[in-house]
Every structure is written in C-alpha cells, then in structure tokens.
C-alpha cells in the first residue's frame, strides 16, 4: 500500500447520509480527516424512493467532508441495507490441482467460485461470498488451507444477495453525485468491523444496528458470519408511535423520545409530568413521563421479538456467549441495553465504533458505526500496491481490485 491512501465511506441511511474520508498510513491505521452529513428523505426502509432527493443529500454530505479534508472525493465504499437483502449458506468443492497437491490461493478462489453457483432469481444479485471455513480431505474447521497438502478442498460460504433494482437505484444516486463506487458493502457487515472484536465473533455474537426505518442483524459464530437479516422497523417506528398516541408532530415526538423516553418505564418516576401541545390544540397539557416510556418500551419489545426470531432462525439460541452488541442511532435511547438483556435473557451492551484515528471525537458515537466500519472494511480489504479510485489527494493513483476478488476475501 502506498505511504498514504485515501479511502471514502458513504453511509446512505433513512434519516441521514454520512460521509467519512480516511487516510491510511503504512501501518494500516485509518485516520479520519473529513466528515460530512446531511438529512436524508429520499429513502424508505433502506430503499431509494426519490432519486433526486437522495442525490442532493449525498452531494451535500460529500461537499461538507471535502471542505473539512481539503480533498476531492472521486470514489467511495458505499453501504447498502434494507428488507430486500437476503442470505444463504453454500458449499463449494474442487480438486486440488497444484504441484505436489499443495493448496494454492487459486484453489481457494476456485472453491469459492464453485460455492457461488447457487440458484437465485434473475431479479437478485450477489453482493458478497464470504468464506466461513474450509474442509481439507474431510478435515473440517480449517481457517487457511493455503500450503496444506490435499486432494480435495471444500469451502463453506455465506452468500449475501440483494435486489438488483435496489442496487441499481442506489448506484445511480451515488454516480449522479459524481462518485464512482469502489465496492457496495452490506452495512451490517461493515459495521461489524467497527464495533465487534475477534473474540466476540469467536464466542458468538449478534450485532443489532438500530437505524431509522430498519434494524440490521448480523450473527457471528466460530469467528465468521453465519446469518444476516433486516427488520423493517427502527427508531422512527418509536417516534411514529409517540406521534399517534400523543397526537403530536413528528418533530415534537422525536424530541420527546430523546429527552424523556426510556426503555425501562418502571424506573421512571410515575409522578413526573411533561407538557406537550397536541396537533390542533392551542394549550399544552401534561402527560406522565412513564406513559411516554411505556410507548417506547412497547415498540422496542416488538423489535427485539424479531431479533430473537432471527437468532432462532440461525440456530444460535443459547450459543451466543458474547450476547448482543447494539449500535446505530436507535441505541442512544435510554435503557436499550438493559431492556434487551432482560427480554432476550443474554448479555447486551451498547457499543460505539472504534479502531479509527484522527477526528475520532466527532465519530465516536453509535450513529457513525456504519460509516466508520466502511472505512475499516476498505482498509482491510485493500490489497498491497493497489489504491482506490479516490486516490491520494483525490487523484487516480494505481489500479482497483476487481469487485469479484474483494467479494471473495475472507
């Protein structure tokens, strides 16, 4: 890798677009040198519904990051999520053809390519094929088979797919903002780079990223990804409930949620009264803070019920020793960690992104977990001697790794 490589991350969320510019030194440490964000109202549940508004939000966020860093963004790693994301596990097998039957990188790539040969509708496309482990002549649990003697090599993979139209629409939005895409990355996969440790993944952990309209889930077991899913509910679902019950505008409901809401209503003073003005009324009236928290708890309970269902679907019940790691903007709500622990019966903690240098004080918060993870993903999967299209000081220096190869990296 060159002395200094610039990577760019774009997290196009339902409530905001976040852009981070990172500089990667020879040691591999990523220093954040540019930050930009803008309100987003062109997406719903992770899917583009208004291209023009989304393009404007992306461009506004990029402009802010460029001004702070003094660099020009040419390309970026872009996060994608939403209810259209699907996943499945697949196995590929090949005969080892190298000299002396030693496993080579070409053998591993052929095995992974064989695992890609799964039947998917022509309305979907593969985002990632992630190796979970290898089997060498019947010996399972091999992490890196290169150099081992073998006749047959098998690989177990986790394949993540997405709706082709959703990918195309998001691609169109980014490209209309005059940005090339280095790689489209599943948001929860990128987020795991910023909030999970290798020990978490080995012990078994469920990453729960509570966004605006969706909640992304990624389950890791034995050091690798085992299950991914998206729940079509998020923090704005709680805001909507408060708006309906209290009969207030979305802005007022959001303020009440953040200032007075709690996921633990029994710990809220039942006599504490807050004043609100309902739609169509001139005078404020009082509601108890406990009532507000009961509304919050009810929707969070529903979200966590779906999280439990995904854990069960992955066959990971009672096998997640590291418990739940919760992040995203929705995790800022008071009491989320303890409420999750009590409902799901496992350890749970709210986590901020880590692993970055530079302007870390500005991004060390759960809402920046996805964008931070995209930078770390880019630094981790970038090959020595290659450089993204953004390049050093915004110029195109060096070639780009093909998307296929990067998608196959373990």
Residue 98 pLDDT: 66
The burial class, CB within 10 Å (0-12 / 13-18 / 19+), for 392 is: middle
**Domain residue spans of the chain:** 86-162
Question: Where does the pLDDT of residue 4 fall: very low under 50, low under 70, confident under 90, or very high at 90 and above?
Answer: low
Residue 138 pLDDT: 87
Comparing 33-47, 115-129, 387-401, the range with the smallest average pLDDT is 387-401
CA dihedral 189→191→195→200, nearest 10 degrees, is -10
Return the SS3 of 96: coil
Average pLDDT score over residue span 225-243: 93
Judge whether 298 and 241 are in contact, CB under 8 Å.
yes
pLDDT in tens, 137-194: 888 888 889 989 889 999 999 999 999 999 999 999 999 999 999 999 999 999 999 9
Judge whether 220 and 207 are in contact, CB under 8 Å.
yes
Residue 25 pLDDT: 81
- Residue 400 reports pLDDT greater than 70: no
CATH architecture of residue range(s) 86-162:
2-Layer Sandwich (3.30)
**DSSP characters for 349-399?**
EE----SEEESHHHH-SGGGHHHHHHHHHHHHHPPTT---TT-GGGS--S-
**DSSP characters for 242-285?**
HHHHHT--HHHHHHHHHHH--S-GGGS-TT-EEEE--TT-SS-E
- Residue 223 reports pLDDT greater than 50: yes
- Alpha-carbon distance of 163 to 82, in angstroms, equals 10
Give the residue with greater pLDDT, 101 vs 124: 124
Q: How is residue 102 annotated by DSSP?
A: B
């Amino acid at each position: 890798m060159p002395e200094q490589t610039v990577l760019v991350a774009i997290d196009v969320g339902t409530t905001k677009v976040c852009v981070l510019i990172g500089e990667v030194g020879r040691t591999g440490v990523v220093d954040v040198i540019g930050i930009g964000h803008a309100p987003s109202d062109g997406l719903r549940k992770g899917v583009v519904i208004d291209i023009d508004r989304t393009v404007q939000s992306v461009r506004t966020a990029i402009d802010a990051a460029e001004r702070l860093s003094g660099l020009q963004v040419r390309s970026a790693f872009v996060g994608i999520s939403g209810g259209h994301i699907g996943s499945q596990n697949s196995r590929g097998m090949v005969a080892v053809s190298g000299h002396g039957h030693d496993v080579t990188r070409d053998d591993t790539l052929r095995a992974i390519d064989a695992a890609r040969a799964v039947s998917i509708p022509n309305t979907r496309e593969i985002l990632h094929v992630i190796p979970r482990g290898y089997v060498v002549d019947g010996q399972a649990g091999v992490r890196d088979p290169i150099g081992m003697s073998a006749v047959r090599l098998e690989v177990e993979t986790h394949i993540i797919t997405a709706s082709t139209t959703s990918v195309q629409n998001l691609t169109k939005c980014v490209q209309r903002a005059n940005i090339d895409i280095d790689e489209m990355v599943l948001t929860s996969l990128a987020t795991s780079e910023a909030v999970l440790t290798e020990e978490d993944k080995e012990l078994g952990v469920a990453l729960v990223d509570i966004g605006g309209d969706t909640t992304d889930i990624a389950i890791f077991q034995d050091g690798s990804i085992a299950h991914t899913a998206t729940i079509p509910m998020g923090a704005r679902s709680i805001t909507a409930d408060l708006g309906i019950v209290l009969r207030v505008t979305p802005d007022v409901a959001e303020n009440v949620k953040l200032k007075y809401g709690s996921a633990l209503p029994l710990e809220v003073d039942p006599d504490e009264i807050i004043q609100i003005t309902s739609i169509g009324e001139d005078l404020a009236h009082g509601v108890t803070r406990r009532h507000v928290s009961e509304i919050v708890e009810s929707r969070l309970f529903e979200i966590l019920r779906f999280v439990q269902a995904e854990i069960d679907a992955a066959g990971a019940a009672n096998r997640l020793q590291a418990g739940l790691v919760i992040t995203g903007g929705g995790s800022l709500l008071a009491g989320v960690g303890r409420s999750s622990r009590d409902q799901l019966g496992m350890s749970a903690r709210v986590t901020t992104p880590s692993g970055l240098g530079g302007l870390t004080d500005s991004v060390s918060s759960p809402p920046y977990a996805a964008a931070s993870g995209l930078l770390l993903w880019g630094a981790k999967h970038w090959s020595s001697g290659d450089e993204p299209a953004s390049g050093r000081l915004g110029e195109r220096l060096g070639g780009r790794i093909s998307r296929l190869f990067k998608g196959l990296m373990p």
